[in-house]
Amino acid sequence: MDFQLTEEQLMIQQAARDYAQRELIKDVIERDEKAIYPADHIRNLAELGFLGMLVDPKYDGGGMDTISYVLAMEEFSKVDSSIGVIISVNNSLVCYGLEQYGNEQQKETFLKPLARGEVTGAFLLSEPGAGSDATSQQTTAIDNGDHYLVNGVKNWITNGHTASPYLLIAQTDRAKGHRGINALIVDRHAKGISVGPHENKMGMRSSDTHSVQFTDVVVPKENRIGDDGFGFKFAMKTLEGGRIGIASQALGLASGAYELAVKYAKERKTFGQEIIKHQAIAFKLSDMATQIEAARFLCLKAAWLKDTGQPYGVASAMAKQYTADMAMRVTTEAVQVHGGYGYVKEYHVERLMRDAKLTQIYEGTSEIQKIVISRAIENDDI
C-alpha cells in the first residue's frame, strides 16, 4: 500500500490550491451574496485544463487520473464549492458519461469541446417527482422514427442555464419500466426548451441551478447514448463517478472550514490565552482533523479503485455519505469555534456550512448512499 502522491498529482494539487487561494478567494463572498455565476473563473480554469481533466488527451482532455481530480476538487471547494460542483458535473457526469458510453461520432462532436472547456454540460435526471426515486421518470422521449420527441420538466439542474449540451434522461417506453429509459444528448438551444429562473438557494449560490421545460423538442436518433433502454443504467454508472467528485467537494468544504478554525483558534484569546489552548476547543479541532483524514482516505480509495479498473460503486457511496455528513458536522463546529464571528460572512465559515448541506442532498442523498451500501451488504458484495 503506497500513500505517496506522485510528482504529477502534487503539481495538480498545487496548481488548484494556488488558483483557489489567490483568485477564487478575492470575490467569493460577493459571488455568494449576489448569486453571480463565476464565468471568468470557469474560463480560466478551462484554460488550465480542469474542465476536462479526466478525459483522454485523444479527445482533447487533460488525461489526469481520478486521484488528481479528488485533490483538485478539495482545493477548489475549500474556497468556492460552487466552482467545485460546476467542475464536478462537467468532468464526472457529462464528460465521463460521453467518453465511456458515447460512440466515436458523439465524442468527436460533443466530448471534445466539453473537454477543452469551450462549453460546459449538464446532467438532467431529477424531476419534480423523481429525485431519490429516479426510475419514476415522467419526462417522455417518444420514438418517432428518425428522432425522439421530448416533453416534460427537469428540476435542480446544475449548469442548467449556461450548459450545452444537456445529457437528458427520459422515458421512451413506460411498459418496460426502467429498461424503457434513454439517455439523449440535447442541444440546449433547440426549439421547445425553456429554462426556469435561477434557484435562490441556501448555499452554493453561484452555481447555476434551474428547472428546464421541454415542449415537443426534437432530438435526432443519433444523439441517443448506447442501446435503446440503456438510459437508467447509464445514469447509475455515471453517478458512481459523480459521487467521488461530490465527496471530494464535501472534503474541501470540511478541510477549508477546519483550516480557518485552526487559524482563528491560534489568534483569538479568551481568559488570558489563545483559545486553541482551551481543551473545549482543542478537542473539537482534534475530532475535526481525524474525521477529515478518514474521509480523505475514503475519497482516495474510491478514486484509486476507479483508476485501477476495479468496481467502485460501493466505495463511492461510502465516500459520499461519510464525507458529506462529516462536512456538515465539521463546518458547523468551525462556526462554533469562531463564536459570533463565525456567524458573519467575512469569516467565510458560515458560507462553507451552508454549502455543506447540499452535499448531503444532491447526486444521491446520504440516505440513498446507505441504500446502495446496505444492498451490497445484503448481496455479499462487500
- Point out which residues bind ligand CAA (CB under 6 A): 85, 89, 123, 125-126, 132, 134-135, 158, 178-179, 232-233, 236-237, 239-240, 313, 362-364, 368, 371-372
CB 47 within 8 Å of CB 72? no
CB of 338 to ligand CAA, least distance (A): 29
Amino acid at 309: G
Interatomic CA distance for residues 35 and 80, integer angstroms: 12
35: exposed, middle or buried (C-beta count within 10 Å: 0-12, 13-18, 19+)? middle
| Pick 284 or 301: Cβ nearer ligand CAA | 301
- How is residue 109 annotated by DSSP? I
Q: Which is nearer to ligand CAA, 77 or 126 (CB)?
A: 126
Q: Report the distance separating Cα 355 and Cα 345, nearest Å.
A: 13
Alpha carbon distance 348, 337 (integer Å):
13
Q: Which of 7, 363, 367, 378 is catalytic?
A: 363
Is the CB of 93 or the CB of 281 nearer to ligand CAA?
93
Q: How far is the CB of 301 from ligand CAA (least distance, A)?
A: 17
Nearer to ligand CAA, 9 or 369 (CB): 369
7: which residues sit within 8 A by CB, 6+ positions away? none
- Cα 96 to Cα 93: distance, rounded to the nearest angstrom: 6
Residue type, 359: T
23 tagged catalytic: no
Provide the minimum distance between the beta carbon of 185 and ligand CAA in the complex, in angstroms, as a whole number. Answer: 16
Instruction: Tell me the closest approach of the beta carbon of residue 364 to ligand CAA, in angstroms.
Output: 3
Closest distance of CB 162 from ligand CAA, Å: 12
DSSP 238-272: HHHHHHHHHHHHHHHHHHHHHHHHHHHHHH-EETT
Helix (H, G, I), strand (E, B) or coil at 216: strand
What span, in angstroms and rounded, lies between the C-alpha atoms of 102 and 237?
13
d(CA 110, CA 95): 9
Q: Shortest approach of ligand CAA to residue 170 CB, angstroms?
A: 14
Nearer to ligand CAA, 134 or 324 (CB): 134
Instruction: Please report how close the Cβ of residue 77 comes to ligand CAA at its closest, in angstroms.
Output: 13
Provide the b/e sequence for 335-373 (b: ≥16 CB within 10 Å). Answer: bbbbeeebeeeebbbbbbbbbbbbbbbbbbbbebbeebb
Shorter beta-carbon distance to ligand CAA: residue 116 or 320:
320
Helix (H, G, I), strand (E, B), or coil: what is residue 147?
Answer: strand
For residue 207, give the amino acid letter.
S
Of all helices (H) and strands (E), which one includes residue 153? Answer: strand 147-158
- Choose between 123 and 322: whose C-beta lies nearer to ligand CAA: 123
Catalytic residues: 363
